[in-house]
């Protein structure tokens, strides 16, 4: 039992080596026993070799432990080690480490299964691949969208559609422009969002793809329905009184013809009626003119401009009206120059439209205030026009950009819809937020100047 202790065995080996070394020294230096010296040297060599083997057995156990972790073998070691308490403690520590690695592996596999299940349940197509195109992750929605039950490499999509393969492999960021393709006779409009990341020095891409054709068609239908409602409303507002008035004038004209005599009162009514018809006809002509102004906008002539200069030009055009109405104007901009890429004429028109709306909103305010803020952040430039006027009702916020919709009695409903289209053609956007009775904020957002 005692001889099984590691320390005792090592001590015995060391003592034996010391004794043999002493005997060798005596045999060589004092007694001059040559044969005995040779035997002692052999005995020392054998003893050293056995000591090395004994120590290496311990190293082998540790090597086996490391290899078991590498090979995911988490079998526990017996702690009943007869070599002493230190080895028992070592076995216990090794078992604890194995348990922790096993737990971490189970958690990792659990997270991976959870991720796979979540991705499979998504209606959005998800695909991930490395820099060689090897597919690392693909869900059923992607397989269905691409009509490919098996896909191992992203470049295999060339057999489905070359444009689709290029669309997925060349875009490192979210694609602003949708891709129109045809797969097996079905027309698709795809929108993609991409993320690029690195794992162990290897670049990976994770891309989500959606077929937005249905959403686009629904949006187009809604837009047409809204436009038709507006057109019907405007035309009927003009045609209904014209129809009624025409019938009345015909009756008067008939009575005039039958009487074969001049009746000044009837003639006055006819003249007045014809004047109304002419006025309403001009109104319809103006309506059509406004409609054409929305649908025939020229492409913007983009130039790099300093936003302050553009805003100040629009302010100068409205300065007299602002002063006459007693509107206080505040213009805030940063200390550094803020550049935008825009058509100066079109954006100036947008600014004038927003200033006109703000002036109208401040008409009845006892302390009217108009603020303009120009700032840049997150690679985009924002120009805000803020007034403390009557605000916009919540029900009207989603309607104010519809052509010909206006909350003003004399409004044409053209300014904001025109401004939205101009901003869209500039690759930007126009947004609005409002609190009824407190203030309204119109924001023009421009992409950053590269």
Query: pLDDT tens digit string along 72-92?
Result: 777 776 667 666 666 777 777
User: How much is the pLDDT for 240?
Assistant: 61
Domain membership flag for residue 117: no
- Say if residue 332 is in the same domain as residue 416: yes
Q: What's the confidence (pLDDT) of residue 266?
A: 63
Q: What is the pLDDT of residue 49?
A: 85
* One domain, residues 274 and 160: no
**28 and 152 both lie in a single domain:** no
Q: What is the pLDDT along the chain (450 residues), one digit of tens a residue?
A: 444 566 777 788 788 888 888 888 888 788 778 888 888 888 888 888 888 887 777 777 777 777 777 777 777 766 676 666 667 777 777 788 888 888 888 888 888 888 878 888 888 888 888 888 898 888 888 888 888 888 888 888 888 888 888 888 876 555 556 777 777 767 778 888 888 888 888 888 888 888 877 777 676 667 666 666 666 655 665 566 666 666 666 666 666 666 555 566 666 666 766 666 666 666 666 656 655 655 566 788 888 888 888 888 888 888 888 888 899 999 888 767 788 888 888 888 889 889 988 998 888 888 999 999 998 888 888 999 999 988 888 878 877 887 766 766 666 667 788 888 889 888 899 999 988 888 899 999 998 876
Does the pTM exceed 0.75? Answer: no
Half-sphere exposure for 58 (CA within 13 Å, toward CB): 18
Cβ atoms of 13 and 47 within 8 Å: the answer is: yes
Task: Please check whether residue 115 lies inside any domain of the structure.
Answer: no
Residues 154 and 186 in one domain: yes
**DSSP 8-state secondary structure symbol assigned to residue 199:** E
Is the domain of 250 the same as that of 321?
no
384: DSSP letter: E
Q: Is 238 helix (H, G, I), strand (E, B) or coil?
A: helix
**DSSP collapsed to 3 states, 387-401:** ECCCCCCHHHHCCCC
Q: What is the predicted pLDDT for the residue at 3? A: 47
pLDDT at 276: 64
Q: Per this entry, what is the length of the chain?
A: 450
* Same domain, yes or no: 360 and 433: yes
Cβ-proximal residues to 358 (8 Å cutoff; 6+ apart), any chain? 370, 385, 386, 387, 389, 440, 442
Could you tell me if 156 and 132 lie in one domain? yes
| Residue 441 pLDDT | 93
Q: Looking at the domain assignment, is residue 114 inside a domain? A: no
Are 174 and 240 members of one domain?
no
348: its two tokens: 């100036």
Pair (92, 158) in one structural domain: no
Q: Is 154 left (phi over 0), alpha (psi -120 to 50) or beta?
A: alpha
Residues 383 and 253 in one domain: no
pLDDT of residue 320: 85
Domain ranges, residue 279: 216-295
């Amino acid at each position: 039992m005692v001889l099984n202790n590691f320390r005792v065995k090592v001590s015995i080996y060391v003592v034996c080596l010391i004794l043999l070394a002493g005997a060798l020294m005596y045999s060589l230096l004092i007694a001059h026993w040559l044969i005995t010296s040779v035997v002692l040297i052999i005995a020392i060599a054998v003893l050293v070799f056995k000591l090395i083997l004994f120590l290496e057995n311990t190293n082998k156990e540790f090597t086996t432990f490391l290899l078991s972790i590498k090979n995911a073998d988490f079998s526990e070691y017996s702690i009943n080690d007869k070599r002493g308490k230190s080895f028992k403690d070592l076995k216990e520590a090794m078992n604890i480490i194995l348990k922790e690695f096993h737990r971490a592996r189970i958690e990792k596999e659990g997270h991976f299964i959870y991720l796979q299940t979540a991705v499979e349940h998504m209606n959005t197509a998800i695909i991930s691949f490395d820099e060689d195109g090897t597919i690392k992750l693909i869900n059923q929605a992607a397989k269905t969208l691409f009509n490919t039950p098996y896909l191992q490499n992203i470049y295999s999509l060339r057999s489905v559609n070359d444009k689709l393969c290029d669309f997925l492999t060349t875009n490192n960021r979210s694609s602003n422009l949708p891709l129109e393709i045809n797969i097996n006779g079905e027309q698709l409009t795809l929108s993609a969002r991409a993320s690029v990341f690195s794992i162990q020095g290897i670049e990976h891409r994770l891309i989500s793809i959606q077929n937005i054709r249905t959403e686009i068609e629904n949006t187009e239908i809604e837009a047409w329905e809204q436009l038709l409602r507006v057109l019907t409303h405007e035309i009927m507002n003009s045609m209904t009184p014209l129809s009624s008035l025409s019938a009345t004038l015909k009756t008067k004209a008939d009575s005039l013809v039958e009487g074969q005599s001049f009746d000044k009162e009837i003639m006055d009514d006819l003249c007045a009626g014809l004047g109304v018809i002419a006025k309403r006809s001009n109104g319809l002509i103006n309506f059509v003119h406004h409609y054409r102004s929305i649908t025939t906008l020229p492409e913007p002539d983009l130039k790099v401009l300093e936003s302050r200069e553009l805003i100040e030009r629009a302010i100068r055009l409205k300065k007299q009206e602002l002063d006459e109405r007693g509107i206080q104007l505040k213009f805030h901009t940063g200390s550094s120059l803020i550049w935008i890429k825009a058509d100066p004429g079109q954006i100036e028109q947008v600014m004038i439209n927003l200033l006109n709306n703000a002036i109208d909103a401040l008409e009845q305010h006892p302390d009217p205030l108009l603020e303009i803020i120009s700032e840049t952040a997150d690679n985009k430039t924002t120009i805000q026009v803020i007034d403390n006027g009557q605000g916009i009702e919540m029900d009207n916020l989603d309607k104010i950009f519809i052509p010909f919709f206006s909350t003003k009695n004399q409004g044409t409903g053209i300014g904001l819809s025109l401004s939205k289209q101009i901003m869209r053609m500039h690759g930007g956007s126009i947004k609005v937020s409002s609190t009824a009775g407190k203030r309204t904020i119109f924001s023009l957002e421009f992409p950053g100047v590269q």
